Amino acid sequence: MSLETTVFTFKISVPYEEWAAVYDSEENIQMMKETGMTCLYKGVNKDDPTSVIVIEQGEEGKAIAMFKDPEVKPLIESAGHIYDSTVISSYF
């Protein structure tokens, strides 16, 4: 399989630091490790504190499959991530 870089942009309903604390939690780190995913970058838009970007890399299709997993959606939403605002782009 090819290595794929996936870019997620989305809105959050909580302060960035609160969202990042969940993203950086042991539970999420372990889940990403198990799926072979690596976070290359995460950040908040300097002009819009509700707009976030996450760039992950791993085997083709893994990041999107993890994001769309119905068991993961509650964790994503509990962090303040507005799930339906997510725009996903993938690159080789």
pLDDT at residue 1 tops 80: no
Phi, psi torsion values for 24, nearest 5 degrees: -90, 5
Q: How confident is the model at residue 2 (pLDDT cuts 50, 70, 90)?
A: confident
Instruction: Give the predicted TM-score (pTM) of the model.
Output: 0.94
Q: Which of 8-17, 48-57, 63-72 has the lowest mean pLDDT?
A: 63-72
CATH topology of domain 3-91: Alpha-Beta Plaits (3.30.70)
Span 77-90, pLDDT tens digits:
999 999 999 999 99
Element (H, E) at 8: strand 3-12
Average pLDDT, the chain: 96
Provide the pLDDT for residue 21: 97
For residue 53, give the H/E element and its range: strand 48-59
